[in-house]
């Protein structure tokens, strides 16, 4: 029997509509061979094919914008938002307009064209996370920015235009609505109960256990109760923290392990599907004119996390028209399948 489930964090409903006998193999699509290197701009030796790097991790004293790097961060050659210019907010009749100021960067995760994030060694994944943190901290200093979203598109169906393993970062002068919903839910819960809604949810999910995929001393991985997509997976730090950039060296190593473990489970179960992941962290707490206490509870009510979405179903007319998502597999079943992967 189908049911509607409500997500108290994202303030939206999902229709859970499991089909009789559906199994992970029913979501598997034919896997294409990786494209040849050709003149891939992200490959080592092709540094001149990208804009100059803004950050890199090198294990020797190799020169910037030359071979010898392990992770390399460059501005996107075709940015969604541009870093140059003045931030202007204005009204256009009843509408609002903000100049397209921001930062759009590409994190090239490895010099190896054929090595993907889920297949990398844990210490190499940690270098990617260190790069995320370094760029995040640097961009928060720009007073024009209010939010920094770090995300990865893996596979053409998930929006990746190049095969070479990479992720992206976009800094925006506004806070995206998907994050606003989480912030408002967190603020309301804390205002009423003086507790983090995410921490409450963590304790509840761990006690129920049926949607837990993996847990260690620092992180927990689970399938959300109102998962909008099949095999949607969330990674949360067990310790309350509102800001991803506050992760210390040990936490980044543990997160590298957990991220690899989770992506490998998805890869094995669903035959290496395309996926997206996003890091939802707290916005930059800029003072808001006339609202001095706007971010006052942010360190206590928000909880950063990673959301992973395998791209194995499509959003169609009903989803666009209603704002409801249809998930054809129970999250409890999805968690069970992923949990059983060794």
Both tokens of residue 190?
């804390």
CA–CA gap between residue 65 and residue 46 (Å, rounded)? 9
CA–CA gap between residue 280 and residue 275 (Å, rounded)? 16
Q: At what angle do helices 331-340 and 249-270 cross, to 10 degrees?
A: 100
The one catalytic residue in 166, 242, 280, 305 is: 166
The strand pair at 219-222 and 233-237 is best described as antiparallel
Tell me the backbone φ, ψ of residue 164, rounded to 5 degrees: -55, 130
Contacts of 260 (CB under 8 A, 6+ apart): 117, 118, 120, 122, 125
Tell me the backbone φ, ψ of residue 338, rounded to 5 degrees: -70, -35
CA–CA gap between residue 270 and residue 29 (Å, rounded)? 8
Strands (E), the chain: 3-7, 12-16, 55-58, 69-75, 89-92, 95-98, 103-108, 147-154, 166-172, 212-215, 219-222, 233-237, 275-280, 305-310, 325-327
CA 109 distance to own-chain centroid: 15
| 240 belongs to the catalytic site | no
Residue in the structure block whose two tokens are 């844990």: 122
Which residues are designated catalytic? 166
């Amino acid at each position: 029997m189908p049911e509607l489930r409500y997500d108290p964090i994202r303030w939206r409903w999902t229709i859970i509509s499991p089909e009789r006998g559906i199994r992970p193999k029913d979501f598997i699509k034919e896997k294409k061979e990786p494209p040849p290197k050709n003149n891939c701009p992200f490959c080592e030796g092709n540094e001149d094919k990208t804009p100059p790097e803004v950050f890199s991790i090198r294990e020797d004293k190799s020169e910037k914008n030359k071979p010898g790097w392990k992770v390399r961060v460059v501005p996107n050659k075709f940015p969604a938002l541009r870093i140059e210019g003045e931030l202007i907010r204005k009204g256009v009749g009843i509408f609002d307009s903000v100049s397209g100021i921001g930062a759009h960067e590409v994190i090239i995760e490895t010099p190896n064209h054929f090595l993907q994030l889920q297949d990398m060694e844990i210490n190499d994944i940690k270098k990617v996370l260190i790069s995320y943190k370094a760029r995040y901290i640097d961009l928060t200093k720009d007073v024009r920015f209010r939010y920094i979203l770090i995300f990865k598109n893996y596979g053409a169906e998930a929006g990746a235009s190049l095969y070479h393993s990479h992720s992206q970062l976009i800094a925006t002068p506004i806070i995206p609505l998907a994050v606003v919903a989480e912030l408002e839910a967190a603020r309301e819960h804390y205002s009423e109960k003086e507790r983090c809604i995410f921490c409450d949810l963590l304790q509840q999910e761990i006690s129920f256990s049926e949607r837990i995929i993996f847990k260690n001393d620092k992180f927990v991985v689970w399938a959300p109760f109102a998962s909008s997509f099949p095999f949607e997976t969330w990674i949360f730090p067990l310790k309350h923290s509102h800001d991803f950039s506050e992760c210390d060296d040990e936490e980044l190593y543990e997160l590298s392990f957990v991220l690899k473990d989770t992506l490998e489970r998805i890869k094995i179960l669903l035959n290496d599907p395309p996926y997206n992941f996003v890091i939802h962290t707290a916005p930059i707490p800029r003072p808001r004119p006339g609202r001095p206490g706007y971010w006052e509870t942010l360190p206590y009510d928000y909880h950063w996390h990673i959301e992973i979405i395998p791209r194995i179903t499509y959003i169609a007319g009903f989803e666009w028209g209603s704002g409801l998502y249809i998930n054809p597999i129970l999250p409890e079943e999805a968690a069970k399948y992923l949990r059983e992967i060794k």
